[in-house]
């Protein structure tokens, strides 16, 4: 049986604020995330985390709009598929399609908000909880393995790592979601221009609305850039304030 003191310690660990990270850590983690996003092999490996957030966005909005979720599949080529049933047209389907590409930077923005309050451990535990919830919905072996590895890494860092390592891990992950949400939109348009993604989210949205696919690609890009700017301000705001660059 867990004692009251033990529960109190767990509560403090989960919801307590950690010390402010050194400004250098915030900047270095941003550089690391940018290098991963902009280089081929690291991006190829780390992109799985973007796919997890992308498909998670589809799944969450499908459930919130009353659609029946049949499952999620994550593939080794970093593609994914979320299957839901319901009306093939209408607001629910449109919002479900809309959620995928904007989900990674929005998740990053939520993470930046938590980091802005120095809730590093809480951020890591929330990430574990979301990955576990998504695990129930995955319907293929690679997807299960990908979520178990990702969730296990986050759990291990949150439970065993020092506060400094937790901070570095959390900041790198949030920067990666913010920055990594932009590149897939550019890749989407490049593949579309070559006729290689005729059934992309943007093209399906074009079929459901009066607006062309390029409008939706542009919307994804602008939304993700806005989330990146807001998240960067949350993460780097204390540094700018210390430097006297903010009001």
**Domain limits for position 219:** 21-42+102-242
**Angle (nearest 5°) at CA 180 between 246 and 48:** 145
52 located within any domain: no
Residue 241: the pLDDT is 62
Please determine, for residue 242, whether its predicted confidence score (pLDDT) is greater than 70: no
Q: What is the DSSP letter of 23?
A: H
Residue 236: the pLDDT is 87
Chain centroid offset of residue 106 CA: 7
Global pTM value:
0.91
> Residues of 64-84 as b/e, b for ≥16 C-beta within 10 angstroms?
ebebebeebbbeeebebebbb
**Which helix (DSSP H) or strand (DSSP E) does residue 71 occupy?**
strand 68-74
Cα-Cα-Cα-Cα dihedral of 221, 223, 229, 232, to 10°?
A: -100
Give the pLDDT confidence of 163-211 residue by residue, as tens digits: 899 999 999 999 999 999 999 999 999 999 888 888 899 999 999 999 9
Q: Decide: 211 and 92 in contact? Cβ < 8 Å.
A: no
49 located within any domain: no
Q: Decide: 17 and 118 in contact? Cβ < 8 Å.
A: yes
More confident residue, 135 or 6: 135
Phi, psi for 209 (deg, rounded to 5): -130, 165
200 located within any domain: yes
Give the pLDDT confidence of 104-138 residue by residue, as tens digits: 999 999 999 999 888 999 999 999 999 999 999 99
67 located within any domain: no
213 located within any domain: yes
Average pLDDT across the chain, whole number: 90
Residue with tokens 């006297």: 244
Identify the CA nearest to 65 among candidates 50, 79, 84, 42.
84
**Confidence band (pLDDT; 50, 70, 90) for 55?**
very high
User: Per the structure, how many domains does the chain have?
Assistant: 1
Residue 141: the pLDDT is 96
DSSP three-state, residue 29:
helix
56 located within any domain: no
196 located within any domain: yes
Residue 6: the pLDDT is 55
Structure tokens at 25: 């850590």
86 located within any domain: no
Residue with tokens 């959620």: 99
């Amino acid at each position: 049986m867990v004692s009251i003191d033990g529960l109190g310690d767990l509560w403090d660990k989960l919801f307590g604020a950690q010390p402010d990270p050194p400004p250098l850590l915030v900047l270095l983690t941003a550089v690391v995330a940018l290098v991963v996003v902009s280089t081929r092999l690291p991006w190829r490996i780390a992109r799985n985390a973007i796919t997890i957030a992308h498909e998670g966005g589809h799944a969450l909005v499908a459930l919130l709009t009353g659609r029946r979720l049949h499952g999620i599949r994550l593939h080794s080529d970093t593609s994914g598929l979320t299957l839901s049933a319901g009306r093939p047209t209408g607001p629910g389907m449109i919002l479900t399609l809309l959620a995928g590409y904007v989900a990674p930077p929005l998740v990053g923005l939520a993470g930046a908000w938590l980091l802005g309050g120095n809730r590093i451990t809480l951020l890591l535990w929330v990430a574990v909880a979301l990955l576990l919830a998504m695990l129930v919905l995955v319907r293929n072996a690679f997807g299960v393995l990908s979520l178990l590895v990702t969730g296990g890494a986050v759990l291990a860092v949150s439970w065993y790592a020092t506060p400094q390592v937790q901070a570095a891990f959390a900041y790198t992950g949030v920067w990666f979601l913010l920055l990594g949400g932009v590149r897939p939109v550019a890749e989407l348009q490049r593949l579309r221009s070559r006729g290689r993604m005729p059934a992309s989210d943007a093209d399906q949205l074009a079929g459901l609305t009066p607006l062309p696919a390029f409008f939706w690609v542009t919307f994804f890009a602008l939304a993700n850039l806005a989330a990146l700017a807001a998240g960067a301000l949350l993460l780097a705001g204390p540094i700018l304030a210390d430097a006297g660059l903010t009001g």
